[in-house]
Amino acid sequence: MTENDQQARGEDQSRPPHGRVGARAAAAVIVAGSAVILYEAFGIALDGGFGPQQSGFFPIIVGVGLVVFGLGFLATTTFWPDAVLLEHAAEEHRGINWVTVWLAIAGLVAYAFLIPSLGYIVATVLFIIAMTWVAGSRRWILNVAVAILFPIAVYFLFTELLGVRLPAGLLETVL
């Protein structure tokens, strides 16, 4: 989009286009999330050791890689912007329903807080039903069936086959 096109549409020239802001914001979120992952990986390594056979080795490698690539993405969007990427990001930005995005983020945060108290199965059932509604699906029988069957299958896969205990929560006496 040229400067004349933006002026014809009445867009403010003093602000960067949505694509640039959105790409920078995404890069900043990736860097911040990567830093948290790396911090937590060092916490694992402090408990289990830093060697290649230790539990903290692979998470540190992943954390370092995420931070490096996140910083590269941030530098690219800030210092060497890709015009095609920014135009694509601006087009995508115009088509985003931000209410849906924020409801999904709120749902993920609520889900993370509900898992310890309600347990994996109950929290996941509620999360799937809520997220299918937020996403616009109104096929309630299918949504509820998936919301019930999927977490039960995953729970038993992890607990029985893999030996990884997921929080039982309210269903602890049954499971």
What are 46-103's pLDDT values in tens digits?
A: 776 667 767 778 888 888 999 999 999 899 888 887 788 777 777 877 778 889 989 9
Q: What is the pTM of this model?
A: 0.62
Task: Return the higher-pLDDT residue of 5 and 98.
Answer: 98
- Look at residue 4 and tell me if it is in a domain: no
Instruction: Answer yes or no: is 3 within a domain.
Output: no
Statement to judge: residues 23 and 80 lie in one domain: yes
Helix segments in the chain, DSSP class H:
3-8, 18-48, 57-78, 83-94, 98-118, 120-134, 140-156
- My answer on whether 121 and 140 are in the same domain is yes
Q: Please tell me whether residues 81 and 107 are part of one structural domain.
A: no
Q: Are 128 and 146 in contact (CB under 8 A)?
A: yes
How far from chain centre, in Å, is Cα 165? 23
Residue 79 and residue 111 in one domain: no
| Distance separating alpha carbons of residues 118 and 113, to the nearest angstrom | 9
Q: What is the mean pLDDT of the chain?
A: 84
Q: How confident is the model at residue 18 (pLDDT cuts 50, 70, 90)?
A: low
Name residues whose C-beta falls within 8 Å of residue 130's C-beta, 6 or more positions apart in sequence: 107
Domain count, the chain: 2
| pLDDT value of position 67 | 93
Q: Which pLDDT value is given to residue 167?
A: 92
pLDDT at 5: 52
Q: Residue 43 is part of which domain span?
A: 15-94
Domain-terminating residue out of 54, 78, 94: 94
pLDDT of residue 94: 79
Same domain as 65, residue 126 = no
